[in-house]
Amino acid sequence: MNSETATAQRELNVHTLVGHGQIALAARCLGSLVRAHHEPVHVIVHDDGSVTPEDMAQFRETVPHSSVVLRGDADECVNDFLAKYPACKRLRDTSVYGLKIFDLQVLEAGENIAYADSDILFLKPVAGLFEMPPDPRSGGAFMRDPQQAYCLRSVQLLTTPKLKLGDRVNAGLFYFRRSAFDWDLVEWFLSHDNFAVHPYWKEQTSWSVLAADANCWIWNEEQVKIVRTASDLNDKLAVAHFISTYRKLMEKAPAFDDKLSPTQITCLPGGQCSFLDLFRDELARKRLRFGK
């Protein structure tokens, strides 16, 4: 085997979901991923329906080794597959985040799915991120959320014994074994129309259902984290998720230093979200909302 063939075999597909308004941000963040990852990366952009040819030209200036899956091209194939999963299709039809969960699973040809949101910035070189946990029973790894960011109420979790959720699963960055994706389980979960107190978290909650079912692990939160304060940007942090609430903190991120040795990303077994876990976060959000 020559070196060119070996490099091609090691290349990793990393998917992302992007809209017209996020192109510049996505180029910066996915460009940092390409620089940081210890093996070659091919970025696959999933268009939310608003990406233009000019957008992709701009994106490729920073991330030349990339391709785009236009929503119009994906719709027929994915919707045909989802015909037998009406609740899944309804989520894809009504939420752009439906593309993030279903299009990746249907269109990816490899054994595993690597995904990164367009607002995740890599601060230093990394190794061991997009790898399966050491437990052969595990279906993948996710990053940890500061809260139980799910679409249902704690009482609904308590009164639905079959439903299991991973503890504080965030789907902004993940590596998942495609064979662990249980379509019937996701369809069952999404068929509960009453799980809609936070409908924008339905996709993330679906990933949490899968994470619990597949014994997924969680990346070390000191290394891979949702940044909420400037103090989070310390020397241990390698991968920073700047969700919209804290996007301005990206201006304080240190410059990428490619001379550093790669940080070996570690992970730990994920836990399960209990009724009390979800209830405590509900109370915390209510106190924040009413200033108590």
pLDDT tens, residue by residue, 46-74:
999 999 999 999 999 999 999 999 999 99
Q: Give 3's pLDDT tier (boundaries 50, 70, 90).
A: very low
Q: What is the mean pLDDT of residues 30-40?
A: 96
Q: What is the mean pLDDT of residues 218-240?
A: 97
Q: From edge to edge, which strands make up the β-sheet containing 239-241?
A: 120-122, 239-241, 224-226
Position 291 scores a pLDDT of 62
Q: What is the pLDDT of the chain when averaged over all its residues?
A: 94
Position 290 scores a pLDDT of 61
Query: Domains along the chain?
Result: 3-250+264-290 (3.90.550.10)
* pLDDT above 70 for 4: no
pTM of the model: 0.94
Position 123 scores a pLDDT of 97
H helices of the chain, where?
Answer: 3-10, 23-36, 53-62, 71-81, 86-94, 97-107, 154-158, 183-190, 202-213, 275-290
- Give the containing element (helix H, strand E) for 65: none
Contact 165, 185 (CB under 8 A): no
Q: Give 24's pLDDT tier (boundaries 50, 70, 90).
A: very high
Three-state SS letters, 131-158: CCCCCCCCCEEEEECCCCCCCCCHHHHH
Position 1 scores a pLDDT of 34
Q: pLDDT tens for residues 182-208?
A: 999 999 999 999 999 999 999 999 999
Distance CA 147, CA 281 (A): 6
* pLDDT above 50 for 157: yes
Residue 126 β-bridge partners: 37, 263
Distance CA 104, CA 112 (A): 10
Q: Give 151's pLDDT tier (boundaries 50, 70, 90).
A: very high
Distance CA 41, CA 35 (A): 9
Distance CA 160, CA 21 (A): 39
